């Protein structure tokens, strides 16, 4: 059961409230209870994201609910903004984190150990396409099937976007600067003349990067490519119902596992386009005595 998830309070309101209580604006103090310093709040992202469901399970499995720990829903942008402000003042914070993501490049963060393995082992990001794409749009199918890159590649694009570059322009720049990598996706693919193709994605920084890059690769072989951001469940539904041709945003086996199971048989899985992704809870490294999820408990 999903419980103890804050859904009606904005991060701004939360920060104001905690400030009034004198709990979150002071720098991190290793000699004080962490929960009291951050009002027993984990800063999260969109409510439907797999990492949020996993975090709710972590709260229960580690018995953090005994101390009234809560999971704050917001958005990726709101979470990273709150994280940046906390780090600037060396304040305590616990966030839902994942890699690849630019925040692990820009900030000095660490994942908390997960001895109960609630978040699972390393994940891969898969490419999922609608049934019949291979027959209808064989060139697009081939590019999507060939698409594979690394966490370092993805981080380059994410950092550009985070610095204010338009995602499409950041993708074009990466494609231009990495012709040998792109050639592995497009060489030998029969070109088309303005055929339409639609990709959907969830608007996480990682998926904004990957979807814009693969869209640009498809344009190089002649496709008129449209991309559309959605929440995670509608993204899966769009491919399963043929409303979209594909997506490159399926974190498996855990983050998107529930949707993979729900729509199984209604899509084609082309396999991993990026290996070694990871999700979990993260904190700034200056929180030196907080190294495990178990360290969040008041009474151990």
The 3-state secondary structure of 279-300 reads EEEEEECCCCCCCEHHHHCCCC
Between CA 191 and CA 136 the distance in angstroms is 14
Q: What is the pLDDT of residue 3?
A: 39
What residues are paired with 201 via a beta bridge?
Answer: 229
Q: What is the pLDDT of residue 121?
A: 86
Q: What pLDDT was estimated at residue 47?
A: 84
What is residue 84's predicted lDDT score, i.e. its pLDDT?
A: 95
The predicted structure's pLDDT at residue 4: 40
CA distance 59 to 57: 5
* Contacts for 249 with CB less than 8 Å, ≥ 6 apart: 125, 201, 202, 204, 206, 207, 210, 211, 235, 256
Cα–Cα distance measured from residue 109 to residue 132, given in angstroms and rounded to the nearest whole number: 43
Q: Which residues contact 179 (CB under 8 A, 6 or more apart)?
A: none
Whole-number pLDDT of residue 5: 43
Strand partners, 111: 282
User: Would you state the pLDDT for residue 23?
Assistant: 46
Look at phi and psi of residue 124 and say left if phi exceeds 0, alpha if psi is from -120 to 50, else beta. beta
pLDDT averaged over 10-residue windows placed end to end, the chain, 300 residues: 41 45 71 95 89 94 93 92 96 95 92 95 95 98 98 93 95 97 97 97 94 98 98 96 98 92 98 95 97 85
User: What are the structure tokens assigned to 119, written together?
Assistant: 């978040």
Per-residue confidence (pLDDT) for residue 254, from 0 to 100: 86
Quickly count: other Cβ atoms within 10 Å of residue 214's Cβ: 29
């Amino acid at each position: 059961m999903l419980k103890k998830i804050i859904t009606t309070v904005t991060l701004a309101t939360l920060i104001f409230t905690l400030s009034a209580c004198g709990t979150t604006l002071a720098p991190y103090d290793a000699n004080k209870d962490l929960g009291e310093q951050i009002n027993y709040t984990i800063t999260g992202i969109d409510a439907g994201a797999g990492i949020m469901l996993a975090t709710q399970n972590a709260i229960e499995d580690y018995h953090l609910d005994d101390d009234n720990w809560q999971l704050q829903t917001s958005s990726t942008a709101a979470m990273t903004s709150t994280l940046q402000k906390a780090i600037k003042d060396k304040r305590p914070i616990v966030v839902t984190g994942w890699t690849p993501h630019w925040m692990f490049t820009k900030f000095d963060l660490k994942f908390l150990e997960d001895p109960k393995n609630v978040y699972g082992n390393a994940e891969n990001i898969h490419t999922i396409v609608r049934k019949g794409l291979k027959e209808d749009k064989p060139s697009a199918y081939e590019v999507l099937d060939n698409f594979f890159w690394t966490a370092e590649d993805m981080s380059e694009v994410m950092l550009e976007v985070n610095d204010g570059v338009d995602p499409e322009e950041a993708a074009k720049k990466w494609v231009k600067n990495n012709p040998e990598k792109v050639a592995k996706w497009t060489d030998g693919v029969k070109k088309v003349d303005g055929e339409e193709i639609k990709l959907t994605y969830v608007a996480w920084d990682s998926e904004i990067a990957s979807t814009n890059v693969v869209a640009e690769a498809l344009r190089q072989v002649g496709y008129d490519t449209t991309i559309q951001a959605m929440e995670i469940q509608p993204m899966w539904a769009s491919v399963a119902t043929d409303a979209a041709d594909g997506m490159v945003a399926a974190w498996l086996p855990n983050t998107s596992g529930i949707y993979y199971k729900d729509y199984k048989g209604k899509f084609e899985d082309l396999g991993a386009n990026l290996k070694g992704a990871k999700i979990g809870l993260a904190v700034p490294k200056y929180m030196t005595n907080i190294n495990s999820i178990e360290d969040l408990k008041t009474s151990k």
